Amino acid sequence: MVYAGLSIRTLRVNSPPYREFVYDVTVTSNRYKMPLNLNVGSLRKDVKRILGNPARSADNREIYEVVYFDDKGH
């Protein structure tokens, strides 16, 4: 799904248990607020202060894999 400043990719599992979930979100507009007060334009030092070291680094890019669960563990 693509919106102005936001791209969301989902994955559908076609075997039991059937489900569909978001596996990638790309935000390019400060219109969309993200958790932990990290938003488009956040400083690299602030990202590292809040999230720590990235999960992976490649080609001068740092990649974080962040998973959020609601209070029910979903």
What is the separation of C-alpha 38 from the centre of its chain, rounded to a whole number of angstroms? 11
Q: What is the DSSP string of 7-33?
A: EEEEEEE-SSSPEEEEEEEEE-STTS-
pLDDT for res 17: 87
For the chain, the C-alpha Rg in angstroms (whole number) is 15
pLDDT for res 2: 92
pLDDT tens, the chain, 74 aa long:
999 999 999 989 898 988 898 888 888 898 888 878 888 888 888 888 888 887 766 656 666 666 555 555 54
